[in-house]
Chains A and B, each alone.
Chain A
Amino acid sequence: MILPKSSIGRKKMAWAYAFVAPVALFFLLVNILPMFWNFSLSLQHYNLLSQEKVFVGLANYRELIRDPVFIQSLINTLILAATVVPVSLVLSLAFALLLNEARRGVGLFRTIFFAPVITSIVAVGYIWSWLYQPHFGLFNQMLIGLGLPTSAFLKDPDVAIFAIAAVRIWKELGFQIVIFLAGLQTIPEQFSEAAKVDGAGPCQRFFYVTLPLLNPTVVFLAVIGLIRVLQTFALIYVMTEAGGPLNRTRTLVYGIEETAFRMYRMGYGASETIVLFLFILAVTLLQIKVLSRRIEY
């Protein structure tokens, strides 16, 4: 870096620092320092109510791996991710392909699919709780009408997490469709046309031309979809009580909120957030590795 000699250059540099300084300071104080503080909290027993504050080393982490409720929340979060991510990707890609084929009304359908994306997640939680309501809820009424067995949905330990997953898929679908549509529009038509001339059917064209070219979009959506679903909180808080039947809908973030802000165990809560972070990091890296393919022509 060469320092400017002229006074004009120095003045310009001073302005640049003045422009950047508030933001840089903000990130230092609000994002970076708290991150280290959070890590040091995870090594303490820190209770905001009793004012207890002791350094305990890795005791919180040792407690975590022996905590059956925490392990259950880890499993639930994984089940949620393993359901929501693939199902929503397949559905949104399918609908994006259909919309891409449709000549008219694309705008209307895009609006319809997108409406849940901008709707308040808390309101969404209540709307679906009402649909799932075991006695008067619409879903069970419809099942009765069709002569099928009913379900307790959110109150059934084996069903509850999938009922939550369905809501998340409904809410996220529009976002993924819009991104897929944008991705599909970047694919030059010649590729598909050339494959057609060579005698490839629609299925072959999809698997050998469209899908490989969409790979960056797929990876992108899978990664951010995964990060979002691993942080599921509001739906669980709104739709089920105390982590659901047999704790089957308790997610990692739900557990963090409960530990830190209802039991005021800040240190233990902090250690849970560190595990969440490592978990997100590991799963994301793994996913990128599995999904990314280098395409050569």
Chain B
Amino acid sequence: MRKILNGVIYIILGVVGIAMVFPFIWMLLSAFKTPAEIQAMPPTFLPRKPTLENFRYVLSQGLFLRWYLNSLIVALAVTASVALFSSLSGYALAKFRFPGRKFIFIGILSTMMVPLQMLIIPWYIACVKLSLVDTFLGIAFPGLVSAFGVFLMRQFMLTLPDDLLDAARIDGASELRIFFTVVIPLVKPALATLAIFTFISNWDAFLWPLIITSSPRMRTLPVGLQFFADQFGVQYHYIMAASSLVVLPALLVFFALQRQIISGVTLSGLKE
């Protein structure tokens, strides 16, 4: 009885699992087909004459490498900034007593309630006035500090033993030194999780980069893909090749780091 049940479970999971990955497989297969084959009726499954022409064309037309670089620059800068400032302020909020501590903490937390859309219009007007449209700073600034990051690091810092910090103080270490040589090594796991989550959500950001970039060279990868696909309307052999270029590297990184990524995103569920 148990065996039959198990068999049924695996059959269901297998069918659904194939359905879940199928869109990716179909994207990849379509990317290797010729324009004639992609419109064949009935459709072919495996490409009859696999071609790299679509990829060659996409790489020659779009600025894909540049968009990759832009996305990487923005996501890395944002991740580094979030990691540094979240741990600095998280540390102060967890381990120091000072007037206004609670007020500041609650103030920071409450910003999580405000949806992004309520801020983009003022941000854009400010960027126009400060000439930040179409610059890296303009794309990156909304993410440089994260309320969720501050919250996460504070919760983690609370678990650090006070005795350890006081011992370092008695030894004559400065506060900055304590932070970098005692505190940071102890919170590395939380920091890694925060970094992975920050990188992923920034890598996928679309609305703000779309608004704040205007020249092709400054677009991030998702915005670049959108503009590229918009030009080629219904030529899905090109669009699927371009999508593959965007999707596959991310999937490979995911397979390599999946344990950390899944735990990071699970934790980040606390966001929003």
Contacts and interface: CB of A to CB of B under 8 A. Distances in A.
Interface of A: 1, 3, 11-13, 15-17, 19-20, 22-24, 26-27, 30-32, 34-35, 37-38, 41, 48, 95, 98-99, 101-103, 105, 109-124, 126-128, 130-131, 133, 135-136, 138, 141, 144-145, 170, 173-175, 178-179, 182, 220-221, 224, 227-228, 231, 233-234, 237-238, 253, 256-257, 260-261, 266, 269-270, 273-274, 276-277, 280
A118 B92 contact: no
B185 interface: no
Contact of B85 (A23, A121, A123, A141): A23
A13 B98 CA distance: 6
Contacts, number: 256
Given A119-B250, A257-B211, A276-B115, A101 B9 contact: yes
A19 B89 CA distance: 5
Interface stretch (B47-55, B121-129, B187-195): B121-129
A23 B116 CA distance: 18
A250 B204 CA distance: 21
B61 interface: no
A126 B20 contact: no
A44 to B, nearest CB: 11
B266 A126 contact: no
A74 to B, nearest CB: 14
A1 B145 contact: no
A29 B6 CA distance: 57
Interface string B82-119: 00011011011100111101001001100100111111
B225 A126 contact: yes
Given A122-B226, A234-B207, A112 B20 contact: yes
Interface of B: 5-6, 9-10, 12-13, 16-17, 20-21, 23-24, 26-27, 30, 38-43, 85-86, 88-89, 91-93, 96-99, 101, 104, 107-108, 111, 114-126, 128, 141-142, 144-145, 147, 150, 175-176, 179, 200, 203-204, 206-207, 210-211, 221-223, 225-226, 229, 234, 236, 239-240, 242-243, 246-247, 250-251, 254-255, 258, 261-262, 265-266, 269, 271-272
B119 A15 contact: no
A173 B23 CA distance: 15
A266 B118 CA distance: 11
8 contacts: A11-B175, A110-B262, A120-B250, A135-B39, A178-B262, A224-B269, A237-B210, A238-B226
A118 B246 CA distance: 12
Contact of B124 (A120, A182, A260, A274): A260
Contacts of B43: 136, 138, 141
Nearest to B21: A112
A32 B118 contact: no
Contact of B13 (A30, A109, A123): A109
A175 B268 CA distance: 10
B117 A136 contact: no
Contact of A112 (B12, B17, B92): B17
